[in-house]
Structure 1
Amino acid sequence: MTAMAETRDLIRLMTWLSPAFPIGAFSYSGGLEQVVADGDVRDAGTLRDWLESLLAQGNLWNDAVLFAQAHRAAGDADRLAEVAALAEALSGSAERHRETMLQGEAFLAAAAGWPHAVLDHLSGAAAYPVAVGAVAAAHGIAAEAGLAAYLHAVTSNLVSVAIRCGVIGQTHGVAVLAGLEARIVTFANVAAGSTLDDLGAATMRAEIASLRHETLPTRLFRS
């Protein structure tokens, strides 16, 4: 790949995973708002621990595996449909289902600015990691690079949630992201070579928080 092509791919990833890309990620906390209300995340240290758990053995890890599967299946409509169906079925709560499916749908609609047949394969609807993984592959972006950008974007959004919930300030938020940088790179590398056998989560408190969030009396976020 030429230097110009690499730069183009970098800019494309930055655009797709920018907070300005119209997928409404700012509306969702993935249950983090409930976790803050419960006091489990209360400062920069507990936020970093929480995010690292999600990356290592939670829903972010499963999303990374599904991203990699969608990336490999991008050229096979039937296989891609199977991955998309699995990703949707793995949503652990109504709010998680709404979060991943609506973001995925919005991503595909916005990605129509870069026309490709893969958009037709997904029929305008897919879980967010599947949508991004398939579109990245369709445009020749390597799985590891796409995964690193995806995980960084999702983690950055969660840090933003913590800032808006008043847990940390912006300076501490940047420090949390800096501290997770090496871990994100590692998980992106491992997930790029993963298989469906690697799916699995052990973050029960996160899943329960996501289930409980819909009953939180005062909410800033939809999940």
Structure 2
Amino acid sequence: MTAMAETLDLLRLMTWLSPAFPVGAFSYSGGLEQAVADGDVRDAGTLQDWLESLLTQGNLWNDAVLFAEAHRAAGDADRLAESAALAGALSGSAERHRETMLQGEAFLSAAASWPHPVLEWLGRAAAYPVAVGAVAAAHGVAAEAGLAAYLHAVTSNLVSVAIRCGVIGQRHGVGVLAALEARIVGLAAAAAVSTLDDLGSATMRAEIASLRHETLPTRLFRS
């Protein structure tokens, strides 16, 4: 790959996974708002622990595996459809399902500015990691680079959630992201060579928080 092609890939990832890209990520907390209300996340240290658990043993790891599968399946419409169906079925709660499907739908709509047949194969909606993984592959973006950008984007959004919930300030938020850099790079490399056999999570408290968020009396976020 030429230096110009690598720069183009970088620009596209920066655009697709920018907070300004219209997927509505700012509306969702993935249950983190409930974790804050419960006192499980109350400062920078507990936030970092929470995010590391999601990345290594929770839904963010599963999303990375599904991203990688969609990336490999981008040239096969039937396999891609199976990946999309699996990703939707793995959502652990109604809010998680709505979160991933609506973000995926919004991503595909905006990604139409970069036309490719993969958009027709995916249809109007697909789970967010599947949508991003397939579109990245369709435009020649390497799986590991795409995964690193994707994981950084979703983690950054959760840090922003914690800031808006008032448990940390912006300086501590940046510190959490800096502390997670090496972890994200390592997980991107691992997920890039993963298979569907690597799916699995053990973050029961996070899943319960996502379920309980549905009845949280006062909410800033949709999940």
Q: Which amino acid aligns with 1:120?
A: E
**Which residue of 2 is the match for residue 51 of structure 1?**
51
Q: How does 1:74-153 map to 2 (within 5 A)?
A: 74-153=74-153
Report the RMSD for the aligned CA atoms in angstroms.
0.3
**Which residue of 2 is the match for residue 174 of structure 1?**
174
**Structure 1 CA distance, aligned partners of 2:4 and 2:186?**
26
Cα shift at 1:73: 0.1
**Structure 2 CA distance, aligned partners of 1:211 and 1:163?**
22
**Structure 2 CA distance, aligned partners of 1:124 and 1:154?**
22
**Structure 1 CA distance, aligned partners of 2:113 and 2:127?**
19
Cα shift at 1:124: 1.6
Alignment identity in percent? 88
2:7 corresponds to 1:7: yes
**Structure 1 CA distance, aligned partners of 2:140 and 2:113?**
16
Q: Which amino acid aligns with 1:17?
A: L
Per-residue Cα deviation, 1:56-95 (whole angstroms, up to 9, x for no partner) = 0000000000000000000000000000000000000000
Secondary structure of the corresponding residue to residue 201 of structure 2: coil
**Structure 2 CA distance, aligned partners of 1:33 and 1:131?**
25
Q: Which amino acid aligns with 2:7?
A: T
**Structure 2 CA distance, aligned partners of 1:197 and 1:17?**
27
Secondary structure of the corresponding residue to residue 20 of structure 2: coil
**Structure 2 CA distance, aligned partners of 1:120 and 1:217?**
40
Stretches of structure 2 that go unaligned for 5 or more consecutive residues are none
**Which residue of 2 is the match for residue 68 of structure 1?**
68
Stretches of structure 1 that go unaligned for 5 or more consecutive residues are none
Per-residue Cα deviation, 1:87-128 (whole angstroms, up to 9, x for no partner) = 000000000000000000000000000000000000121000
Q: Runs of at least 4 residues of structure 1 off by over 2 A?
A: none
TM-score (norm 1): 1.00
